[in-house]
Amino acid sequence: MYEYNNLGGTAIKSSHFLGLFFIFRAKRKGKQILKVYTSNEIRSKYIAFFQENGHAVIQSASVIPENDPTVLFTTAGMHPLVPYLLGEKHPAGSRLTNIQKCIRTGDIDDVGDDTHCTFFEMMGNWSLGDYFKREAIEWSWKFVTSPQWLGIPQDKIAVTVFEGDKDAPRDTESYEIWRELGQREEELFFLPKTDNWWGPAGQTGPCGPDTEIFIIKDKERCGPNCSPACGCGRYVEFWNNVFMQYNKTAEGAFEPLVQKNVDTGMGLERVLVALNGGTVYDCDLFTSIFAAIEQLSNKSYIEHSKAYRIIADHTRTAVFILGDTRGVTPSNVDQGYVLRRLIRRAVRFSMNLGIAEGGLTVIADTVINQYDPMYPELKANRSLIIDELQAEEMRFHKTLSQGLREFEKLASALGEEKLDGASAFKLYDTFGFPIELTMELAKERSISVDLEGYQERFQKHRELSQAGAAQKFKGGLADHSEQTARLHTATHLLHAALRKLLGDTAAQKGSNITSERLRFDFSFPRKMTDEEIAATERIVNEAIADRADITFDEMTIDQAREAGAIGLFESKYGNLVKVYTIGKHSKEICGGPHASNTSELGVFKIIKEESSSSGVRRIKAVLL
């Protein structure tokens, strides 16, 4: 038995292969080319390096985007910084660095393989109109190759740059900088826009060429044209420097930006794979979580790796969604729906391993303890996390019982016939039955399953879901038009009105703004009455009629508290925050954008009040 101290300092006993196995797996067969790094080492080195180079450290923002209708979750470090990339002044300055917690859920069904995770940490550094290509590339080279930092041998590094096309010229500037620094020409590649261009996130907005850094694995080229674009496995990408120097217009033109930015990203899990080898699940981030799964199941990771990975990944992501400062709870819409799907998939695979009901909360506790030093909101919201996981697990067991009754009904009617694909898919879509469970139950009754028919319906369902998401979020990252600025301002007045009418517990849980409407989620235990809705409208419209100026001041978080400002005290802007004051009506921490006077807002009208999730209400409103 080994003892492994996780990030929270708690000793967790693990089996003969857990603990040291995952950290040192990269040494197998004598092919390790670098020292073995832990996640804490990488985090610390990255932040220390950019601090030394004049970057202010800002905290991770929420995984629930603020006023961004284009994504359900924060998917990159740059998402919370969009206003500042577009020109607004950031309180912490023009050089920033942080580690942002991110969630990407487009490939949930692929989790369990060697590469996919839904939660990850993105290390980033940004220049908001300050330095550009030379400094960004020189710092990347120094951090990657210097012995005091990552110390990767120069002959193990490959780099790609943008080859140019009709929209933008060949990035010879980046190429020449890399050559000056010592990057070998034979491992320096010009690649097209599909490989070396970022953005815009939607149809329009900031975008530009990027330069990506790869580790070369101990593997021969697959042919004379082998490059990081061929996907043969020789190259592992781990760092991307994006040079936002263009704005794509609605007409499809690429115009030079007045403020040129640098946006870099290096996924923590990805860089650990690049440095240590193995898969994303072979790093120390999963050691204590896998140990908890093993103790609960008494089954080995080696024989049940897919189940281990899905349970660990999905539970970790669920903890971060539930424990977030803007955390949501399971529901049938938006983030709550994704959360429900993650929890139920984790429960399914827990059952496959023989883990008793309630085991997910033990695993969740391990996640909380591991990440609490970096993200203390998890421990602060521990009770909510555990309660919601328990409640959702109970609901799912009830749904599974209903599904079993449905299967028995189908099986009895079939006799020896084949279970058709439509019925198999209904068991999956309605009752959460994975096809493996349906096939196992069918086999016990000597019934075959139309697997091809099921796969056709599953693929169609997946394509429709992706198309729906693309349509829903096609507008790009946050729209910062005058209308969205007015609607954003209205959310401040709405928040203040709700607190005045319903009490201080009516706290903001999230918002979503398009150019047509605002959506505001807040904590409240019941449906609002018609009288309360009308009173809320009246309070907001009185503030609009007051023709109040909207001003902001930069101050420390403590000063903001003392001034009576409300908001999420996340420190996501660094030591300084912006406090927006709307006359006598509202004082709130926020990043923008806003109108300059309430008279610009027009007439505020609530069009719907509904449940968002357990204990959270949702208001949709417009400005007329």
Q: What is the DSSP string of 145-164?
A: H-TTTT---GGGEEEEEE--
397 assigned ligand-binding residue? no
CA distance linking residue 497 with residue 112, whole number of Å: 46
Instruction: Provide the residue type at 467 as one letter.
Output: A
Nearest to 94 by CA among 63, 44, 131, 121: 131
CA distance linking residue 533 with residue 26, whole number of Å: 60
79 assigned ligand-binding residue? no
Query: Running DSSP on this structure, what letter comes out for residue 333?
Result: S
Beta bridge pairs of residue 98: 124
Q: Where are the beta strands (DSSP E) in 528-574?
A: 550-556
Nearest to 311 by CA among 338, 339, 283, 342: 342
Residue 93 CB neighbour total at 10 angstroms: 15
Q: Cβ contacts of residue 165 below 8 Å, gap of 6+? A: 192, 193
Q: Where are the beta strands (DSSP E) in 478-575?
A: 508-513, 518-523, 550-556
CA distance linking residue 426 with residue 155, whole number of Å: 54
Tokens for 121, please give them: 């940490």
Q: At what angle do helices 268-276 and 39-52 cross, to 10 degrees?
A: 110
Secondary structure (H, E, C), 238-254:
EEEEEEEEEEECCCCCE
Instruction: Provide the residue type at 350 as one letter.
Output: S
CA distance linking residue 514 with residue 65, whole number of Å: 13
Sheet hosting strand 586-589, strand order edge to edge: 550-556, 576-582, 586-589
Distances (CA, A) of 584 to 72, 344, 544, 622: 33, 47, 12, 23
Nearest to 350 by CA among 390, 400, 296, 404: 296
CA distance linking residue 109 with residue 169, whole number of Å: 39
Tokens for 418, please give them: 């084949």
Per-residue b/e over 551-581, b at no fewer than 16 CB within 10 Å? Answer: ebeebebeebeeeebbbbebbbbbebbbbbb
CA distance linking residue 255 with residue 247, whole number of Å: 5
590 assigned ligand-binding residue? yes
Residue 168 CB neighbour total at 10 angstroms: 17
Tokens for 388, please give them: 């919601």
519 contacts 494 by C-beta, under 8 angstroms: no
358 contacts 393 by C-beta, under 8 angstroms: yes
CA distance linking residue 521 with residue 502, whole number of Å: 14
CA distance linking residue 242 with residue 263, whole number of Å: 5
Tokens for 382, please give them: 């521990």
Distances (CA, A) of 377 to 63, 284, 382, 383, 568: 12, 22, 8, 11, 11
Query: Running DSSP on this structure, what letter comes out for residue 327?
Result: -
Q: Tokens 């005290």: give the residue.
A: 569
594 assigned ligand-binding residue? yes
Q: Binding site for Zn(2+): what residues are annotated?
A: 488, 492, 590, 594
- Binding-site annotation: residue ranges: 488, 492, 590, 594
